[in-house]
Amino acid sequence: MAKKQLTLGEALRARRDQLDLSQAEIAEQLGTTQGNLSRWERDLTEPREPEVYRDLADFLEISLRDLAGLIAQSAYARALRELALLQVQSGDEGF
Protein backbone atom coordinates (compact mmCIF):
# COMPACT_ATOMS: atom_id res chain seq x y z
CA MET A 1 0.00 0.00 0.00
CA ALA A 2 1.33 3.44 -0.94
CA LYS A 3 2.26 5.85 1.82
CA LYS A 4 -0.32 8.62 2.25
CA GLN A 5 0.98 11.99 1.17
CA LEU A 6 0.62 14.73 3.75
CA THR A 7 -1.40 17.82 3.08
CA LEU A 8 -0.08 21.27 3.93
CA GLY A 9 -2.40 21.35 6.94
CA GLU A 10 -1.21 18.00 8.26
CA ALA A 11 2.43 19.00 7.86
CA LEU A 12 1.88 22.37 9.57
CA ARG A 13 0.03 20.82 12.48
CA ALA A 14 2.63 18.09 12.95
CA ARG A 15 5.51 20.59 12.92
CA ARG A 16 3.69 22.94 15.29
CA ASP A 17 2.98 20.06 17.68
CA GLN A 18 6.60 18.91 17.41
CA LEU A 19 7.76 22.39 18.46
CA ASP A 20 4.99 22.69 21.09
CA LEU A 21 3.91 26.10 19.78
CA SER A 22 0.48 27.68 19.47
CA GLN A 23 -1.14 28.72 16.21
CA ALA A 24 -0.73 32.34 17.30
CA GLU A 25 3.02 31.88 17.84
CA ILE A 26 3.51 30.28 14.43
CA ALA A 27 1.28 32.86 12.74
CA GLU A 28 3.44 35.62 14.19
CA GLN A 29 6.60 33.92 12.92
CA LEU A 30 5.06 33.61 9.46
CA GLY A 31 3.69 37.15 9.40
CA THR A 32 0.06 36.08 9.13
CA THR A 33 -2.97 35.81 11.38
CA GLN A 34 -3.95 32.94 13.65
CA GLY A 35 -7.15 32.65 11.60
CA ASN A 36 -5.18 32.15 8.39
CA LEU A 37 -2.98 29.53 10.02
CA SER A 38 -6.04 27.74 11.36
CA ARG A 39 -7.57 27.61 7.86
CA TRP A 40 -4.27 26.34 6.42
CA GLU A 41 -4.05 23.61 9.08
CA ARG A 42 -7.60 22.49 8.28
CA ASP A 43 -6.79 22.51 4.54
CA LEU A 44 -9.56 24.99 3.87
CA THR A 45 -7.25 27.45 2.10
CA GLU A 46 -3.62 27.96 1.21
CA PRO A 47 -1.52 31.10 1.49
CA ARG A 48 -2.36 33.70 -1.13
CA GLU A 49 0.79 35.77 -0.74
CA PRO A 50 3.76 34.24 -2.58
CA GLU A 51 6.22 35.75 -0.09
CA VAL A 52 4.79 33.43 2.61
CA TYR A 53 5.91 30.32 0.73
CA ARG A 54 9.61 30.70 1.56
CA ASP A 55 8.82 31.25 5.26
CA LEU A 56 6.51 28.21 5.26
CA ALA A 57 9.15 26.04 3.60
CA ASP A 58 11.74 27.23 6.13
CA PHE A 59 9.37 26.56 9.04
CA LEU A 60 8.63 23.06 7.75
CA GLU A 61 12.31 22.53 6.88
CA ILE A 62 11.46 21.47 3.32
CA SER A 63 12.16 22.70 -0.19
CA LEU A 64 9.79 24.92 -2.14
CA ARG A 65 9.20 21.94 -4.46
CA ASP A 66 8.11 19.81 -1.51
CA LEU A 67 5.92 22.67 -0.27
CA ALA A 68 4.24 22.75 -3.69
CA GLY A 69 3.50 19.03 -3.29
CA LEU A 70 1.87 19.63 0.10
CA ILE A 71 -0.24 22.44 -1.35
CA ALA A 72 -1.30 20.24 -4.28
CA GLN A 73 -2.24 17.44 -1.88
CA SER A 74 -4.34 19.91 0.14
CA ALA A 75 -6.19 21.02 -2.98
CA TYR A 76 -6.79 17.38 -3.93
CA ALA A 77 -8.14 16.52 -0.46
CA ARG A 78 -10.40 19.58 -0.56
CA ALA A 79 -11.75 18.59 -3.99
CA LEU A 80 -12.51 15.07 -2.75
CA ARG A 81 -14.42 16.48 0.25
CA GLU A 82 -16.44 18.76 -2.02
CA LEU A 83 -17.25 15.93 -4.44
CA ALA A 84 -18.34 13.69 -1.56
CA LEU A 85 -20.62 16.45 -0.29
CA LEU A 86 -22.15 16.85 -3.75
CA GLN A 87 -22.67 13.10 -3.89
CA VAL A 88 -24.51 13.12 -0.57
CA GLN A 89 -26.61 16.12 -1.55
CA SER A 90 -27.62 14.55 -4.87
CA GLY A 91 -28.23 11.09 -3.44
CA ASP A 92 -25.80 9.64 -5.98
CA GLU A 93 -24.61 6.18 -4.97
CA GLY A 94 -21.43 6.09 -7.05
CA PHE A 95 -18.34 8.18 -6.71
| pLDDT bucket at 54, cuts 50 / 70 / 90 | very high
| pLDDT bucket at 91, cuts 50 / 70 / 90 | confident
| pLDDT bucket at 95, cuts 50 / 70 / 90 | low
Residue range 16-34: mean pLDDT, rounded: 95
On whether residue 3 sits in a domain, the answer given is: no
57 contacts: CB under 8 Å, gap ≥ 6: 63, 64, 66, 67
On whether residue 26 sits in a domain, the answer given is: yes
Per residue in 65-76, is it b (16+ CB within 10 Å) or e — as a string?
Answer: eebebbbebbee
pLDDT at 45 over 60: yes
On whether residue 2 sits in a domain, the answer given is: no
Please report, for the domain that includes residue 12, its CATH number. 1.10.260.40
3-state SS record for 1-69: CCCCCCCHHHHHHHHHHHHCCCHHHHHHHHCCCHHHHHHHHCCCCCCCCCHHHHHHHHHHCCCHHHHHH
Residue range 8-17: mean pLDDT, rounded: 96
Range of the domain at 72: 8-90
For the chain, how many structural domains are there in total?
1
pLDDT at 49 over 90: no
